[in-house]
Structures are given as structure tokens and as C-alpha cells.
Amino acid sequence: MKTTPLREAFIEVLTLKGYSTRTLETYVSVVAQLARHYHRSPAQLSAEEVRAYLYHLHKTDRSTSTLNVVVSGLRCFYDEVLQRPEICDKRILPRPKQAVRRPQAYSVEEVHRLLEYGFTSPKCRVFFMTLYGAGLRLNEACHLKAEHLDVGRMLVRVERGKGCKDRYTILPQHLLEELRRYWRMYRPRYWLFPSSRDERKPITDRSVQLAFKRALRRAGLPCKGGPHTLRHSFATHLTEGRTPMHILKELMGHTSVSTTAGYLHISRQRMEHIQSPLDTMDWTAPPAL
């Protein structure tokens, strides 16, 4: 991709502010797409043109999360690089209201079925076992290294997770045994789960997503989302096992416990013990019709 002074200045700002590589690439792409839309430098665009571009994206049925990323990227660029606060105004770049979507989860039996019958590759099977067993985000699992496994304390160290935060999560005994078998079979040198094309690079999100879809079909399971549903399942199953909310918050790497509390709604045991007021009534004979 063509390098320009503005692009380099934006990369420098994002790097100095400590943004992750993935966020940096996404924000730079957001500004590049704006420039391609108008075939002009973003420095030459008016506030009305930037607003019109956002409206254009709304009309093309982009998801709310995608639109929010666009707004964040453009606000950062026009504020930090071009120092044009008028474009960062919420009247020019408003954030779309995001619907509250509850995460879906698979049952313990379904996860076992997926891991037992969904994969033909040992590498894929162990990857998804790691994703579920430690409750990792997809990008976190892709960037694991052998040194991140603290076998002595049975912990997994997550470096530069969401929000550039480090944390520890659990390393299940069964997962450790599977990882040792995997290690003896593949002997990865750089990343725990390297790309099949270049061992010096980690496995890609795209290849993981495709493998997950194929595994669901083999296991005969419904699609409830992408690989991230295994992280949701991890949190849900710990909630059902009465893991304290503040501990689950730390394992998941959430900033607020209110985010963690969202998993209560899909806790099967929590729902099973709630009685409807309809069932508290004294029913004798049905009324005559």
C-alpha cells in the first residue's frame, strides 16, 4: 500500500499511544477507505463530506460495530493528526446506538461433542480446546507462545490482550496434557499455533473461523456465532459452576464486572430455579367455557 506523510504520521500517533497492531491496521484502513471514496486526500475534505461518507456507510447496511470502529478511527485521525476538532464533533461523526446483544453459548455436552468429533486436524482440535479451556479471545489464542504457559502454577499468561492489558487465566490439566502431545507432534518454534504457510507468523483469524464452521458441520451442531462462542461458553459454564463474579472478571480480562455479569442471563442453573408466579397459584378445575 502506498505510503504518504499523513499515513506515516497517523501510524506514529497510534504507535505512541500504545494501540495494538490490529487496531492500528484497522484505523489506518478506515482513513484509507475514506480517501478512496472521494479520490482525494482526507486533509482536503470538509466536515460535511466526512459526515456524508458516514451516512453512505449507514445506507450500505454496515453493522453497528463496524460503524463505531469507523467513527473511532476518523475521530482519532482528525483530532490527533490534522487537529481539526470540528470534524470530531458528535454532530459530524455521531456514534450509532448499539443494540444490546446477549452472547450465545453451547452446553458442556455440545462443546465436548465439538472437540471430540469436529476436527480432523490435531492442531485445530487443540487450538479450539485452548480457546475454550482458558476462555481466550480469538486473537489472544492466535498469539500464544510456549513461554506463556506457566506450568508450575497452571496458568496461561495473556500478553497485550484487549485494551493492551496483560492477565492470567487458568491452564486446565487436560489441556496441558493435550498441548504436550501437540508439542511433540508439531514442535512449533515461534508461535504455539503457527500459520500453515509461514511458521514465523501466527495462525490467522480467517483460517480459524473457516475451521470452526467446518467443525460445526462435522459435529452436527447449530451455528451460534464464530469461535468467540467458545469463550462465551467458558464464562457461562463457570457461572453455572458458581465461580465468583470477581474471579471470572479477572479470568475474562473485563474492565467492568457489569460486562461479566452479562453471562448470568444464559446461566442454565440460574433460570432453572426461578418459579413463575403462574405456578404459585392454586389451580383446581378449569373454568367453564
* Per-residue model confidence as pLDDT tens for the chain (289 residues): 567 899 999 999 999 998 888 889 999 999 999 999 999 999 999 999 999 999 999 999 888 889 999 999 999 999 999 999 999 999 999 998 876 666 688 999 999 999 999 999 999 999 999 999 999 999 999 999 999 999 999 999 998 767 667 889 999 999 999 999 999 999 999 999 999 889 999 999 999 999 999 999 999 999 998 999 999 999 888 888 888 888 888 888 877 777 667 666 555 545 555 555 555 556 665 555 4
CA–CA distance, 217 with 114 (Å, rounded to integer): 9
Q: What is the pLDDT at residue 225?
A: 87
DSSP bridge partners of 194: 202
Classify residue 154: in a domain, yes or no.
Answer: yes
Q: Which residues are catalytic?
A: 137, 162, 228, 231, 254, 263
Q: Per the domain annotation, does 279 fall within a domain?
A: no
Q: Indicate if 210 and 152 belong to the same structural domain.
A: yes
Claim to verify: residue 19 and residue 123 sit in the same structural domain: no
Separation of alpha carbons 134 and 169, rounded Å: 6
Q: Which residues contact 129 (CB under 8 A, 6 or more apart)?
A: 115, 175, 178
Q: What is the CATH number of the domain that holds 226?
A: 1.10.443.10
The separation between CA 11 and the C-alpha centre of its own chain, rounded to angstroms, equals 23
The answer to whether residue 236 is domain-embedded is: yes
* pLDDT value of position 276: 54
User: Is 132 in the same domain as 225?
Assistant: yes
Which ranges of 39-107 would DSSP assign to H, the alpha helix? 47-59, 64-76, 85-88
129 and 203 in a single domain? The answer is yes
54 and 119 in a single domain? The answer is no
3-class state of residue 64 by DSSP = helix
For residue 65, the domain's CATH number is 1.10.150.130
Tell me: do 19 and 126 sit in the same domain: no
User: In this predicted structure, what is the pLDDT of residue 10?
Assistant: 96
Give me the amino acid identity at 236: T
The verdict on 114 and 230 lying in the same domain is: yes
Q: Does residue 245 belong to any structural domain of this protein?
A: yes
Residue 193 is part of which domain span?
108-272
Indicate whether 196 belongs to any domain.
yes
